[in-house]
Structure 1
Amino acid sequence: MGLATMKGRWYLGSLRQWHWISSAVCLVGMLLFAVTGITLNNASIIPATPYVVSVEAVLPTQVLSEIEVPDNEMAPLSAELRTWLERELDLYIPGSRRGEWSDDEVYVALPRPGGDAWFSLDLDSGDILYERTTRGWVAYLNDLHKGRDTGTVWSWFLDVFAVACVVFCVSGLLLLQRHAASRPTTWPIVGLGLVIPLLLILLFVH
């Protein structure tokens, strides 16, 4: 067996390995993104009934008196306040989430995939208002697709997933090139994959 033949087999084996590994990594993500691509494209005809949870309460005077308005208008809630909210009202507010402070109120926006939430506290009366809105699983998955209010870790996952998709596509293209000589329709079909969306953009996208 010649050296060139051995190199060719090693190259083909490496391509196939990269292709199947990247396809395994991308499989679930690609299915999710394909399905949510359909739901996003047809969002206007998919019904969604928002579900709203509201909480009204009054912060005890002792806890209220311990709150100090920070010098910075954008600052997180104190650990003591967050602990009380979680223990008494089952309201979890991350320590990293910054609130908008004024002399008489603190407001915390709590955006989330598939919905929204917010929290406010009157620093004079101790009145607490909290509202959480959810719009169902379709909205949740759509926001995962867009990376909307999903946090840093999910953003990292999207980047890794995108790189795996690039590896999957490029290794697939190189495999097509490898076998194109015995499959004459390979490049015409690949060309259609480029020409069809290009024509649709030029003719129908304004």
Structure 2
Amino acid sequence: MNPQTITQSRKAAPPAKGKRKRGGFSAFWVRQFHTWHWMSSAICLVGMILFAVTGITLNHAASIESEPAVVSQEGTLPNDVRATLAAVPDSAGRDTPVPQAVSRWLDGEFGIDASGRAHEWSADELYIPLPRPGGDGWVAIDRSSGAVLFEDTDRGWIAYLNDLHKGRDTGTAWSWFIDIFAVACVIFSLTGLLLLQLHAKKRRATWPIVGAGVIIPLFLLIFLMH
């Protein structure tokens, strides 16, 4: 074979698989973008649907309000439990825990877990707020008579889902979930943008649509919000 032909064939040979490039990225990074994109989308799937739907319900909260259901119950502490409560000094503050006997009685009588909850002491009363997603509640105990008043308010499933969206009274575990979900959404969006760049040459509408996604919100914020 002619040496010149051999040289030309070598020049025309495609680059090695690991060095092949698309859109300025090596094949390794292209594979990474696809992997991160589908994995982050899998993590975000349920959360994104939840947050998108509750974004609509929050935006129209005034139109879809429901009548809250309020339940009130009364009771009286047994003498031994009341004696435990009376033993707490009048100067008790928020750092003074609710006596275990009182917590056990509330749990058995009303299904209230008072241990570890924020509470307020006064000379006359122990007050325990019971906020939760989609509702609210409180229990007040008269320190002298042992009279207990418990009230629970349920605002319905839509309010529950809206509170999940806002992270209202949802606890540490859900707060961590929101943070992890937000990071996954950022990865999903950024890898999606990089994949758009890879395919932009074959899809001419890519960057005009991306630009519209930036310009439309800015236009609304600058000219129409106020």
1:155-190 residue CA offsets vs partner (Å, 9 max, x unmatched): 010000000000000000000011111111111100
Larger radius of gyration: 2
Q: 1:138 aligns with which of 155, 158, 168?
A: 158
Match of 1:8 in 2: 26
Q: Is it true that 1:23 corresponds to 2:41 in the alignment? A: yes
Whether contact under 8 Å (1:115, 1:135) holds in the other structure is yes
The count of corresponding residues between Structure 1 and Structure 2 is 205
- Aligned counterparts, 1:103-122, within 5 A: 103-122=123-142
**Per the alignment, do residues 84 and 138 of structure 1 end up closer, same or farther by CA in structure 2, a change over 3 Å counting?**
same
Whether contact under 8 Å (2:114, 2:128) holds in the other structure is no
Q: Is it true that 1:42 corresponds to 2:55 in the alignment? A: no
1:125-182 residue CA offsets vs partner (Å, 9 max, x unmatched): 1110010000100000000000011111110100000000000000000000111111
Q: Per the alignment, in what secondary structure is the counterpart of residue 169 of structure 2?
A: coil
Report sequence identity in percent. 52
- Aligned counterparts, 1:48-59, within 5 A: 48-59=66-77
TM-score normalised per structure 1: 0.95
In structure 1, what is the Cα distance between the partners aligned to 2:66 and 2:214?
35
Whether contact under 8 Å (2:140, 2:148) holds in the other structure is yes
In structure 2, what is the Cα distance between the partners aligned to 1:13 and 1:99?
53
Match of 2:167 in 1: 147
Q: 1:76 aligns with which of 87, 97, 104?
A: 97
Q: Is it true that 1:167 corresponds to 2:187 in the alignment? A: yes
In structure 2, what is the Cα distance between the partners aligned to 1:91 and 1:169?
44
In structure 2, what is the Cα distance between the partners aligned to 1:159 and 1:24?
16
Q: 2:107 aligns with which of 69, 86, 98?
A: 86
In structure 2, what is the Cα distance between the partners aligned to 1:56 and 1:94?
16
Match of 2:3 in 1: none
Whether contact under 8 Å (1:69, 1:102) holds in the other structure is no
Alpha-carbon offset, residue 53 of structure 1: 1.3
Consecutive unaligned residues of structure 2, counting only runs of 5 or more, are 1-14
Whether contact under 8 Å (2:141, 2:148) holds in the other structure is yes
Q: Which runs of 4+ in 1 moved over 4 A?
A: none
**In the alignment, residue 71 of structure 2 is paired with which amino acid?**
V
Alpha-carbon offset, residue 198 of structure 1: 0.5
Q: Per the alignment, in what secondary structure is the counterpart of residue 115 of structure 2?
A: coil
Alpha-carbon offset, residue 47 of structure 1: 3.4
Whether contact under 8 Å (2:66, 2:156) holds in the other structure is yes
In structure 1, what is the Cα distance between the partners aligned to 2:92 and 2:84?
17
1:21-68 residue CA offsets vs partner (Å, 9 max, x unmatched): 000000000000000000000011103011111110111122101223
In structure 1, what is the Cα distance between the partners aligned to 2:131 and 2:38?
37
Whether contact under 8 Å (2:92, 2:122) holds in the other structure is no
In structure 2, what is the Cα distance between the partners aligned to 1:22 and 1:126?
54
Alpha-carbon offset, residue 91 of structure 1: 2.6
In structure 1, what is the Cα distance between the partners aligned to 2:48 and 2:223?
28
